[in-house]
Amino acid sequence: MSFWTRHQVFEKNSIILIVGILAVIAIGGLVEITPLFYLKSTIEVVDGIRPYTPLELTGRNIYVREGCYLCHSQMIRPLRDEVERYGHYSLAAESMYDHPHQWGSKRNGPDLARVGGKYSNDWQRDHMRDPRAVVPSSIMPGYAFLSKTPVNGAHLTEQMRLLRVVGVPYSDEQIDNATVDLAAQAASDDAGGADLQKRYPNAVLGDVAGKSSVTEEDALIAYLQHLGISVDFKLYDDKANIR
Amino acid sequence: MSVDNLHDSKIRIDEHSGTPTTGHEWDGIEELNTPLPRWWVWTFYATVIWSLAYCVVYPAWPLLHGATEGVLGWHSRAAVVQDIADLQATRAPILAKIKDAPLDSIEQNPELLAAARTVGRVAFLNNCAACHGAGAQGAKGYPNLNTDAWIWGGKLADIKTTIEHGVRWDADKQTRVSSMPAFGRDGILTPAQVSDVADYVRTMADLPDAIAPETKGEKLFNENCAACHGVNGEGNREVGAPNLFDAVWLYGSDKAVVVNRVNQGGGGVMPAWKGRLDDTTIKALTVYVHSLGGGQ
């Protein structure tokens, strides 16, 4: 029997054909993906990356829920124009606690990988409620309803435990204090702010003091204000991480 | 008889097209064995050769402890570092002049002014325009930078300090700080008193629909507001207290707006840009903002 005759086995039996297709694709997957799990050079060793605070994590859930990644990337590519506009190119380490990552692939809006600290909370609030009030040419939809929706922290500790299973190093202390930390970060005059910053260095405190409840808008802004600020690129060695 | 022979036996020349058939036959339906166009086949071979060459020249195959490096030794991260270095080398002569020139002298030198305005404008559009507007016209709560109504001062040095350290930006220890008390929210003034003060402020500004000044409004103003905003409402840039009688209103001049500001106090927040932008860019940005029309 010639080679072509044997090939008829695949052509004439759909189950065998499917198994064959899966086997061929799996080879591609093994070659392209598996090394990323064992090669030490995949994720840079940098200081400053910490798991998200409960408020940031809640905001991140809203970011995912609202599909922000459909129009905003979080991936500054190592290209001159991108580095010029957005800042240092993104490192793998910067999204190592993201499950799933929010790199995105579409830029109807600007990249958000380093939006943290670029604008004030007030601006984020004005912009979220009515983007065209501050940026007349914006095509972003308004998300005013976020400011009227209290955050739902019901599954916060479960989510943190789940993330721990997949490798995010949340401590028992962090998980036990999730609800306290969420409230503390939202209201900057809360005494719990110091405890929070001990558990999560560089956590930016919010400014919702005086409001009756923490809203989804507050959480989303806390998340945005944390994006891209963890690594101190003055200390980062570009040459050591060339690849 | 093998299947191949079975097919071979069915290969025939199609009478309509003159092309041979494949020999496959399913329920009387046959298939023409039209050869692929020659150009397509050669392009295909070329891409195969290209991909093999690519594997040799560029980083390609993962190994146990790394990956093949490629004979060119090219890395995307090294390439961007080189690109940025080349860019900086191109800009270096003029940027070095901006860097070395005293801040006050840049506007006297047409060449430096033009360069600083170009660099400053790009930085402005990327970083500042979201709040202050693409034309620096400002928006409600975000100051217009084309006027001479400066909250923290319109001299070059003042503008530079504001850009570097921001306003009420907690992460920067040298940020500009002032905090107008929340007269209403914190119960310093009663709602009636807040209303009187608001009326008085609007009278001071000569607004067409202002209600005639009341003595108690003036008294309340002098007791609570004049320390920062001045007896005549002329403001004080040392503490970031805006002028209250000019035509520029950061949040609006309606009575409800003025009442709300007196009730809530506080003020806007501007991020600190030192560290985020390099010093030369901040210098250029300072000159750009200063040259927009309101510079002092």
Is there a single domain that holds both residue B86 and residue B205? no
Contacts of A31 in chain B (CB under 8 A): 61-62
Is there a single domain that holds both residue B129 and residue B275? yes
pLDDT of residue B204: 86
- Residues of chain A with pLDDT below 50 are none
Is there a single domain that holds both residue B62 and residue B111? no
Q: Which CATH architecture has domain A54-67+114-241?
A: Orthogonal Bundle (1.10)
Q: Could you say which of B84, B139, B140 has the minimum Cβ distance to residue A80?
A: B84
Is there a single domain that holds both residue B243 and residue B155? no
Kindly determine whether residue B276 and residue A117, on different chains, have CB atoms separated by under 8 Å.
yes
Top mean pLDDT of A72-81, B170-179, B226-235, B261-270 is at A72-81
pLDDT of residue B284: 95
- The reply to whether B127 falls in a domain is yes
Average confidence (pLDDT) over B103-108 = 91
Average confidence (pLDDT) over B50-57 = 95
Q: What was the ipTM of the complex prediction?
A: 0.83
What one-character-per-residue DSSP string does B200-259 give?
HHHHHTT-TTPPPP-HHHHHHHHHHTHHHH-TTS--BTTTTBPPSSSS--SS--SHHHHH
Average confidence (pLDDT) over B199-227 = 85
pLDDT of residue B216: 84
Contacts of A134 in chain B (CB under 8 A): 130-131, 139, 142
Domain that holds residue B50: 38-67
- The reply to whether B233 falls in a domain is yes
Is there a single domain that holds both residue B170 and residue B274? yes
For tokens 């072509």, the residue is A4
Kindly determine whether residue B78 and residue A242, on different chains, have CB atoms separated by under 8 Å.
yes
Is there a single domain that holds both residue B167 and residue B205? no
- The reply to whether B295 falls in a domain is no
Is there a single domain that holds both residue B216 and residue B243? yes
Q: Could you say which of A39, A78, A188 has the minimum Cβ distance to residue B76?
A: A78
- The reply to whether B182 falls in a domain is no
Contacts of A153 (CB under 8 A, 6+ apart): A54, A58, A178, A179, A182
Q: What is the rounded CA–CA span in Å between residue B188 and residue B186?
A: 6
Instruction: Kindly state the helix (H) or strand (E) to which residue B24 belongs, with its residue range.
Output: strand B21-26
pLDDT of residue A173: 94
A243 touches chain B (CB under 8 A): yes
Is there a single domain that holds both residue B11 and residue B51? no
Contacts of B76 in chain A (CB under 8 A): 78, 243
Contacts of B241 (CB under 8 A, 6+ apart): B151, B178, B180, B228, B229, B230, B235
Residue among A68, A206, A67, A217 at smallest CA distance from A144: A217
pLDDT at B2 exceeding the cut of 50: no
B252 touches chain A (CB under 8 A): no
Q: Could you say which of B84, B134, B269 has the minimum Cβ distance to residue A83?
A: B84
Each domain of chain A, given as residue ranges in start order, spans 3-38, 54-67+114-241
Is there a single domain that holds both residue B9 and residue B138? no
- The reply to whether B183 falls in a domain is no
pLDDT of residue B217: 85
Q: With b meaning 16 or more CB within 10 Å and e meaning fewer, what string describes B192-231?
A: ebbbbbbbbbbbbbebeebeebeeebbebbeebbbebbee
Contacts of B67 in chain A (CB under 8 A): 35, 39
Is there a single domain that holds both residue B250 and residue B279? no
Average confidence (pLDDT) over B262-282 = 92
pLDDT of residue A109: 94
What one-character-per-residue DSSP string does B113-181 give?
HHHHHHHHHHHIIIIIHHHH-TTS--BTTB--SSSS--SS--SHHHHHHHHHH-BS-TT-TT-B-----
Is there a single domain that holds both residue B109 and residue B164? yes
- The reply to whether B147 falls in a domain is yes
Report the domain count for chain B: 4
Is there a single domain that holds both residue B229 and residue B96? no
- The reply to whether B73 falls in a domain is no
